[in-house]
Amino acid sequence: MTNVYVRRLCQWEADDHAMNLIVRESGDRKTISVPEGSTVREALLSCGINPGGTCNGRGECCHCDVFIKDGRGLFYTLACQTPVTDGMEVASVRTRDIGETTRGLAPVWRSDGQGWGYGLAIDVGTTTIVCRLYNQETGKLINTVRRANPQLVFGAAVAKRIEACVEGKLKTMAKLLEEVLAEMTGTLASEAGISPSDINDISICGNTAMELIAANVDPTALSVAPYMPPTLFGEEIDYLTLVDSDITAGTAYFAPCISGTIGGDITCGLLAIDMARSNELTLFLDLGTNGEMVLGDKHGILACATTAGSVFEGASIKYGAPAYQGSIYKVRYVDGQLVTSVIGGEEPLGICGSGFMDALAIMLDCNILTPDGTILTAPEAACVSSCGLEKYLCVEDGEPCFRLSEGISITQHDIRVFLHAKAGLSAGVRLMLKKRGVTQDDIRKIVFAGSFADRVTLTNASRLGILPPGLQNRTVSVGDAAVEGASALLLSDTANDQIEKIIDICEYIELRDNPEFEALASECMRF
């Protein structure tokens, strides 16, 4: 028999003699025993907690999704397919639980006051879905809701979603998206005091794979050369059944993509910052599940992408986590001590990308991390560091680590993963600068987009080489640039022409199997 300890998320305490299952649902604190071989779903059900699911534990509906933290790290999986192991900690993360609702009256990027009724602007992110409701007559933002993309159960990276489609899971993933969009639409309509039938127009953006899956179009062509999708969108698609049958609009406008790796979320972001009409050479960075980079102005645009961006959303890191409740998002060095900030103010589940970068910058500044990415041992650090942080150095599974809190460390493997991601980004920027015939000093502005940009410390991003050195003062964070562009497409009668201009003057650079890129990336494998 294996002991399982069940309680609310806010009551996190260590228990050496129990296996911790941490849930968001309200409930009494209780300890239960389950037979060895029990699944997490069975354990939760045995103590009266229903993690969701309609397939009776067969792993087909993908509705019993949970965060698991154990010796392997932190990961997202299905409760019904995960055996209970001693020392395991579980957080139930149904999409309704991690949804965040914000209200405001801020105007969209621009509005010509066209249309009537209400419209939806949707950014289908690989990790998070953002949906805005607008009054189309006034251009006023009514409400915004965010949800985790339920397709996370198939993997955090875009490549995993495509693999799932290769395995015949396209309809399942499209259905999951349909359900969460229907719920989001219903929430927006209900809180606004309107009927879904008052919604007349929909604009959708996302990376190329996400748009294809949303439109129920097979994305498997993205997995093999020449990585050309069946469509690059920029058109209205029949979308009635994928949102809500009560919505007046029978179609949705899908933002145009540039390539298999530069999707409609990027073209919408470029629309939001008005790159195609700017006189200033601008570097646009979106470090989500991919690492997309765009350099340009009204005279021309270059774009490329690496697959290493997922590290910035917590993927591929042992204790990495998305920027959700329970994630360490900021790390500071204060008087010889590490001070961590956690989303929600609770005990940490893991560390998201911004907190991870803060920690790396501190390690570098305190000389306990070498420029080639080696974590020093405690005796080595004591000889070269005066910060007193050697007490946070430890060994896990024979590998040096830097401990941030109980049960959460940065490993040597994590550093290598990050260096590869950083090298890919740096090399991509250098390649675009070379092709344009300019230097980094010619960059007048850097635009940092995406949810990651909202929390990242720019000086640390520069310190680690994510931003070109010394240009953090020219950098602005714009958050949800993709949904801003989708909003413009919804409300402005000139936005379509402007986004088409972006497509016309943009040149895509393929980095896969590119010898010049690979050589530059090798040069950038240092801090």
SS (H, E, C) 106-138: CECCCCCCCCCCEEEEEEECCCEEEEEEEECCC
Mean pLDDT of 378-404: 88
Residues 154-180: tens digit of each pLDDT? 987 888 999 999 999 999 999 899 889
Largest CA distance in the chain: 69
Please state, rounded to an integer, the average pLDDT across all residues of the chain: 83
Residue 153: strand, helix, or coil: helix
pLDDT digits (tens, 9 = 90+) for 230-270: 999 999 887 655 555 566 666 899 999 999 999 999 999 99
CA distance 171 to 174: 5
Compute the distance between CA of residue 112 and CA of residue 493 in angstroms, rounded to an integer: 7
Confidence of residue 453 (pLDDT cuts 50, 70, 90): confident
CATH homologous superfamily, domain 2-93: Beta-grasp domain (3.10.20.30)
pLDDT band at 45 (very low <50, low <70, confident <90, very high): confident
pLDDT given at position 336: 86
What's the rounded mean pLDDT across residues 403-423? 93
Is the link from the previous residue into 226 a cis peptide, with omega within 30 of 0? Answer: yes
pLDDT at site 98? 33
Question: For residue 502, what are its two tokens?
Answer: 């972006």
- Whether pLDDT at 340 is above 70: yes
pLDDT for 3 beyond 50: no
- Contact in structure between 314 and 342 (CB atoms under 8 Å): no
Can you tell me the distance from the alpha carbon of 123 to that of 141, in angstroms, rounded to the nearest whole number? Answer: 15
Predicted confidence at residue 331, as pLDDT, reads 96
Q: Identify the helix (H) or strand (E) that includes residue 373.
A: none
pLDDT digits (tens, 9 = 90+) for 280-313: 999 999 987 788 999 999 999 999 999 766 788 7
| Residue 433: strand pairing partners | none
CATH class of the domain whose range is 282-310+422-483+493-497+507-523: alpha beta
Sequence-distant (≥ 6) Cβ neighbours of residue 323 within 8 angstroms: 313, 314, 329, 343, 352, 353, 354, 451, 452, 455
The predicted pLDDT at position 67 comes to: 67
Window from 74-83, 112-121, 416-425 with minimum mean pLDDT? 112-121
| pLDDT band, very low/low/confident/very high, at 62 (cuts 50, 70, 90) | low
Is it the case that residue 28 has pLDDT exceeding 50? no
* CA distance linking residue 218 with residue 169, whole number of Å: 10
Query: How close are the terminal C-alpha atoms of the chain, in Å?
Result: 48
Sign of the four-CA dihedral 325, 326, 327, 332: positive
Structural element, H or E, at residue 414 = helix 412-436
Q: For the residues 44-55, what does the mean pLDDT come to?
A: 72
Confidence of residue 116 (pLDDT cuts 50, 70, 90): low
Return the CATH fold of 98-272.
Nucleotidyltransferase; domain 5 (3.30.420)
Q: Which one-letter amino acid corresponds to residue 18?
A: A
Q: Do domains 2-93 and 98-272 have the same CATH topology?
A: no
Asked whether the beta carbons of 91 and 9 are under 8 A apart, the reply is yes
Give helix 412-436 / helix 353-365 axis angle, nearest 10°: 100
Give the Cα separation of 68 and 88 in Å (integer).
Answer: 7
Residue 223: what pLDDT? Answer: 92
**Reported confidence tier of residue 229, pLDDT bands at 50, 70, 90:** very high
Give the per-residue pLDDT at 365: 93
According to the model, what pLDDT value does residue 248 have? 63
What DSSP designation does 39 have?
B
For residue 346, give the amino acid letter: E
Segments in 99-224 forming alpha helices (H): 158-166, 170-192, 208-214
Instruction: Spell out the domain ranges in the chain.
Output: 2-93, 98-272, 282-310+422-483+493-497+507-523, 312-416
Q: Regarding predicted confidence, which is higher, 97 or 361?
A: 361
Q: What is the mean pLDDT of residues 106-130?
A: 69
What tens digit of pLDDT does each residue of 91-115 get? Answer: 654 433 333 333 332 333 333 444 4
What is the spatial distance between Cα 402 and Cα 19, in angstroms, rounded to a whole number? 24
Closest CA to 421 of 280, 341, 313, 343: 313
Q: Per-residue confidence at 74, pLDDT binned at 50, 70, 90?
A: low
Query: Distance of alpha carbon 32 from its chain centroid, rounded?
Result: 35
